């Protein structure tokens, strides 16, 4: 993860539009909804390997033009929505770049196996004792 907020802002494009929700008459006049668009393919921040990983993991977030799209319309001000959208994009990219830990297969210990078998024998003996002999 070798990118900063400033680097990312250089490579993003913004679209603004009128937002619904709170804000009174301000909602009808000001374009406070912000849509951040980021192209993984044309980015200079990531290596080819990282680009492949990002496009693979964020496949469902890409629009038809191949841009990652993050929309924010929670705040009343365009500036705050822009900041929130950038923060969301950063967290999205960093999560996508994280590689999961490789699972190390482990064996069941001899003591655990013996304890399980002992428990099974005890259960079997308990049920065997419950049987009623009808042959008499």
The predicted structure's pLDDT at residue 136: 56
State mean pLDDT over 28-45: 85
5-97: in CATH 3.40.718.10: no
| Torsion of the alpha carbons at 10, 30, 32 and 15, rounded to the nearest 10 | -40
Lowest mean per-residue pLDDT among 27-31, 38-42, 65-69: 27-31
Q: What is the pLDDT of residues 61-118, one digit of tens each?
A: 888 888 888 988 888 888 899 999 999 999 998 888 888 889 999 999 999 999 999 9
Any idea where the domains of the chain sit in the sequence?
A: 5-97
Helices (H), the chain: 5-10, 26-29, 48-57, 78-97, 110-130
User: What does the block give as tokens for 115?
Assistant: 């304890």
Lowest mean per-residue pLDDT among 33-37, 44-48, 100-104, 113-117: 44-48
What are the backbone angles phi and psi of residue 126, rounded to the nearest 5°?
-60, -45
The predicted structure's pLDDT at residue 102: 92
If one compares 86 and 16, the residue with the highest pLDDT of the two is 86
64 SS3 class: coil
| Residue 7: pLDDT over 80 | no
The predicted structure's pLDDT at residue 62: 85
- Angle at Cα 72 formed by Cα 66 and Cα 76, nearest 5°? 150
Please give the order of strands across the beta sheet that includes 33-39.
12-17, 33-39, 67-72
């Amino acid at each position: 993860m070798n990118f900063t907020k400033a680097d990312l802002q250089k490579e993003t494009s913004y679209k603004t539009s009128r937002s619904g929700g709170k804000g009174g008459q301000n909602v009808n006049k000001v374009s406070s909804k912000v849509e951040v668009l980021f192209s993984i393919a044309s980015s200079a921040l990531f290596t080819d390997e990282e680009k492949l990983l990002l496009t693979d993991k964020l496949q469902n977030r890409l629009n038809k033009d191949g841009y990652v799209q993050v929309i924010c319309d929670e705040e009343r001000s365009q500036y705050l929505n822009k900041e929130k959208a950038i923060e969301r994009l950063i967290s999205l990219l960093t999560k996508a770049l994280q590689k999961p830990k490789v699972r190390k297969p482990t064996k069941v210990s001899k003591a655990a196996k013996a304890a399980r078998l002992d428990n099974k024998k005890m259960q079997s003996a308990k049920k065997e004792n419950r049987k009623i002999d009808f042959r008499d």
